[in-house]
Amino acid sequence: MGDGNLAQKQQKTRFKAFPIFTEEDEGGRIEFTAEVKELMKMGWTDFEAKKALEGHGNNVLSASEMLAEEEEANLERFKTELSKLNELGWDEESSLLALIATGGDVSVASEALEAEDEASLQNFEFSVKAMVQEGWNVDVVKNALLHQWEKDIEFQIAERGKRGVERSRQQLKKAMNWSGLFPPTSKKVANDAPQNMKSKPTKRNVVPHDKVKRECVVFNVTEKTLQKIVLESSVPVLLEVYADWCGPCKQLTPFLEEVAIRGGGMLRLAKVDAEVQRAISRVLSVNAFPSVFAVVNGHIIDNFVGILDQDSMQVFMAGLVIPHTALGTNITSESLNAEKRREGQLSEAERKKMSFRLQQFAGSAELGVKKKEALIEKVSTALQSIQVGDRRELEDGSNESSLYKREDVWCAVRLVSTLCFNCISDISNPKYRRVSKESFTFTKAVECCPEVVSILHVAGFRETEKDPEHLVLLHHNVAVLSIIRDSCIQWLKHSKSRSVFQQHGGPNYNSHNL
């Protein structure tokens, strides 16, 4: 079979060198209609979904039934051919698509699948070599690209269901086993590269990727937008604090903007004008410009002050775009590049303290005075509705339902306080963001004090359709959780003080009398 025919047939398979990536326009990912998304969640591709919806008046149910019938018919039609491709190691889904495109020709379908895998690996090789030519370390590049590939598979599952995932994982596995050989870092590149960025920022350290629109990845941050743009960002953030009169800032800012634009959405730049946003500058303890912080999942993982040389900047960027676990270690520039910390670089303990201050400040600024007062009123009302006292057994053997044993109620309210504290300490940790409604501790707390559910609702823990067995925290605002926790602690202090007073002969007041 000629190469031209093979290439022509390969085009019809609708495969891509990296099928895990979604189509993109100039500004980022294309948004699909609700109906297309619904079918994609069922496992169909956007191509199949759009075609089926067009033929069924945009009716999701009819379109899904048609797609299912077509797939069943094709599975039966190509039963023998699928078995042969399966023996060759191809998964059923990829094999079926290839057979449909090639009219059931097993040989051509197998060649097309092999060509697709080869194209995928060549794409990976090209990306690695391109970044190495930009001056990146080959091992850092490979791990960064492989991790991004894994993240794209996760995105594909979340947005499009598991259809095509097996194929993507097979190609990822081949890329992981790839051991392409590179010559030592080009001496020409090394000699031509500026040794210090203080004279002029170099673009050799920029993360190579498809460009996106500036407004999609470069933001001017205020107190009100700090929470959403920086702390709740789904991608790593370069948080730059600058001043218009600062000379080095004028050198560094365009360079960082180019990093974000060429990063293709892998990271974003959030700029803070220190002269205008003085409060943010104070929270970050900025005393020199420019000051740059690497923020991932709401936590500051690294920082630098001034302008770094090329090698230090490259390591800093690697620590930002590759998560701590990607290389089996924490790869902040503190650990990758050094015998000692840079001047102005924060220690791990300092980063944790500053992250906490930043989270509290940003969350409080987003809330505003009115929302904060309303939140305090809601949690106070929920706490005051709790009636505390000694349960008294009635003649029929039951307990009075309006009063709960003090110690049990205190434990229940402490549980709310603890849940909030855990989330405050690590707001992005999935382990803390979900509360099992069937756990012994939770069911016991609700049994003793049903009001804890209302308090958790005020805190932002809610049931969802996807996960009805858990209460899930639906926001990332640490300030909200701090208000709930402080209110619970204050209530416990008052309740215990009242209990001591009653034990010494005082009247038996309930909490709503406080």
Please report the domains of the chain, with CATH numbers, ordered by start residue: 3-176 (no CATH), 194-346 (3.40.30.10), 367-513 (1.20.58.2190)
**CA distance to 79, 154, 482, per residue, from 13 (Å):** 19, 23, 54
Mean of pLDDT values over 76-95: 84
Q: Enter the tokens of residue 401.
A: 């339902």
Cβ–Cβ < 8 Å for 449, 366 = no
Res 159: pLDDT: 59
The residue type at 482:
S
Mean pLDDT, residues 459-488: 93
Phi, psi of 33, deg, nearest 5:
-70, 165
More confident residue, 282 or 389: 282
Name which of 131, 143, 244 is nearest 182 in CA terms.
131
Q: How far apart are CA 278 and CA 293, in angstroms?
A: 16
**pLDDT in the model for residue 382:** 92
Task: Give the Cα-Cα-Cα angle 138, 139, 141 (nearest 5 degrees).
Answer: 65
Confidence of residue 62 (pLDDT cuts 50, 70, 90): confident
Residue 15: pLDDT over 60:
no
How many residues belong to the chain? Answer: 514
Specify whether 246 is catalytic.
Answer: yes
Residue 49: what pLDDT? 80
Q: In 3D, which of 250, 270, 251 has the Cα closest to residue 260?
A: 270
Give, for 296, the enclosing helix (H) or strand (E): strand 291-296
Strand residues in 297-398 grouped as ranges (E) = 299-305
Contact 47, 14 (CB under 8 A): yes
The average pLDDT across 157-176 equals 68
Q: Does 423 participate in catalysis according to the annotation?
A: no
The CA–CA distances, whole Å, from 271 to 1, 221, 225, 268, 281 equal 57, 6, 11, 10, 11
Amino acid type, 269: L
Decide if 357 contacts 373 (C-beta within 8 A).
Answer: no
What's the token pair of residue 105?
Answer: 């020709």
Averaged pLDDT for residues 460-488: 93
Euclidean distance between CA atoms 209 and 211, whole angstroms: 6
Whether 77 has a pLDDT exceeding 50, the answer reads yes
Question: Is residue 357 within 8 Å of 286, Cβ to Cβ?
Answer: no
Q: Is the peptide bond before 254 cis (omega within 30 degrees of 0)?
A: no
Q: Quote the longest CA-to-CA distance of the chain.
A: 99
Query: What's the pLDDT score for residue 184?
Result: 37
d(CA 290, CA 248): 7
CA atoms within 13 A on the CB side of 265: 16
Task: Compute how many other C-beta atoms are within 10 angstroms of the C-beta atom of residue 508.
Answer: 13
53's enclosing H/E stretch is: helix 46-55
- Report the pLDDT value the prediction gives residue 332, as an integer from 0 to 100: 47
Give Cβ neighbours of residue 463 (< 8 Å, ≥ 6 apart): 437, 470, 471, 472
Residue 500, pLDDT score = 57
- Judge if pTM exceeds 0.75: no
Tokens read off for 491:
């209530």
Q: How many angstroms separate the CA atoms of 151 and 172, rounded?
A: 11
> Which residue in 216, 246, 420, 488 is the catalytic one?
246
Backbone angles phi, psi at 304, to 5 degrees: -150, 160
Structure confidence at residue 158 as a pLDDT band (50, 70, 90): low
Least confident of 207-216, 291-300, 430-439: 207-216
Q: Which of 216, 249, 423, 488 is catalytic?
A: 249
Q: SS3 of 178, please?
A: coil
How does pLDDT run across 446-460, given as a tens digit for each residue? Answer: 988 889 999 999 999
Q: Under 8 Å CB-to-CB from 301, ≥6 apart: which residues?
A: 294, 295, 319, 320, 324, 332, 351
